[in-house]
Amino acid sequence: MINIDFDAGTLNISGVDILPPEIIQFAGFDVRSKTFRAKASDYARIILALRKAGIPFADRARKYELLPDLALKEQLTTRPHQARALTAWKQADCRAVVSLPTGAGKTFLAIMAIAYLKRPALILVPTIDLLTQWCATIERFFNIPCGMLGGGSRNIQKITVSTYDSALLHMEFIGSRFALLIADECHHLPSPENRLCAAMAIAPFRLGLTATPELPEEYSSVLQEMMGDICCNISIRELAGKVLSAYQVRQLRVELSGEEAAAYQHNRMIYTSFLRRAAIDFQRKDAWSSFLIACARLPGGKEALHAFFTQRHIARAGKAKLEMIAGILRRHAGERVIIFTADNDAAYTIGRKFLLPVLTHHTKAAERKEFLDLFRQGKYPVLVTSKVLNEGVDVPQASVGIIVSGSGSVREHVQRLGRILRHAPDKPQAILYELISANTSEESISARRREHDAYQKR
């Protein structure tokens, strides 16, 4: 008889000297325990293979049961796109990734999935803000308490929400207690650390949720292995003006002053000349680390590094951009505006210039909550942020976004657009302004990050 046990985030397979061919691909021999060992995430594949082959086994790994009394406290009104996503997930044997735009109801889709399966569920989230938001939603809809793992809490319940970081620390103990694994913002899951959260869980049913499924090939394959294929991918354009706010995207080219342009070109020349001498190609994935190593080792490296940061700062925060921001704020007086920057220095510069609240990773949790609450109430009509509002924050009142600077990441650009697309009563058409310093590297950066359906002309 084959015995299958959960052991510290893995499956321990014992009782036989040789594994049957149906499951040999999933396990290897562990010389320490003199048993076979498999990833916990392969639990469902192993059980199904043994059942199909009619091989007797004792499943001692599973520590969860059905929740027949699990019920919704209030009825959900399913929108067509949510019903379509839920159906696609069911047809994928309840193991797949769903891509829905920010504001399209990914959380409610997860609620429907939990209610459908009626089994214990673990929900993974990347931030403390999302941890509290999810717990509040779970307790709003279900008739059982919600567990919380992270942010100083360690309360495990039949339905538990955990940050990725906390789950990683505890999964070797709790990985057998949940049948459904939900990964919110699941584009975070394939990182070398976070993927262990999914690998150490036996959950046969899995639901990945993201607004930005685009990933490098190696990360995409990890997400597919751990959570399943993308079974439903609904675009921003498909829902704009219906479920989401209608929106415009306006690119505004901003000219550097004569002094700024001269300084930019001078520093840009120092930087690019060094790149050529050091034979550094930024098409390669390791280009940035190679550049830093070269700066430390080669003559002129210190000057090249200083020149890089100087030319980048000029492009990101020129005087004309500040004047453009002032004009946009006047034009949209009374509306809720989020100003996005690529770095903290630029965010604080704008905050000081216009006397605006600034949110960065340095902002303490209590102050951050206060700023967001006041923004939602309209007492703070404008927020400035570097990157902390890119995802995971619900501010449906925001209707204007100003991208002062950013990376070339398509995901970041789509996430920033998503901050202003949530539907709210009497909300005006959303507008995203993208400020680009003319004749600088920002033009090519903008072109890269706009390679998404949401930015194509309609």
Q: Is the separation of the CB atoms in 264 and 314 below 8 Å?
A: yes
Is residue 159 helix, strand or coil?
A: strand
Q: Is the separation of the CB atoms in 311 and 268 below 8 Å?
A: yes
Structure tokens at 318: 């020129």
Closest Cα partner for 85 from 61, 57, 116, 59? 116
**Which pLDDT tens digits describe the chain residue by residue (458 residues)?**
899 999 999 999 999 888 899 899 999 998 888 899 999 999 999 999 999 999 999 999 999 999 999 999 888 888 999 999 999 999 999 999 999 998 888 999 999 999 999 999 999 999 888 898 899 999 999 999 999 999 889 999 999 999 999 999 999 999 999 999 999 999 999 999 999 999 999 999 999 999 888 888 889 999 999 999 999 999 888 888 888 888 889 999 999 999 999 999 999 999 999 999 999 888 787 888 999 999 999 999 999 999 999 999 899 888 899 999 999 999 999 999 999 998 898 899 999 999 999 998 888 878 888 988 899 899 999 999 987 776 667 788 899 999 998 877 778 888 888 888 888 787 888 999 999 999 998 888 888 777 766 666 54
Q: What is the pTM of this model?
A: 0.87
Name residue 252's amino acid: L
Closest Cα partner for 170 from 191, 150, 143, 192? 150
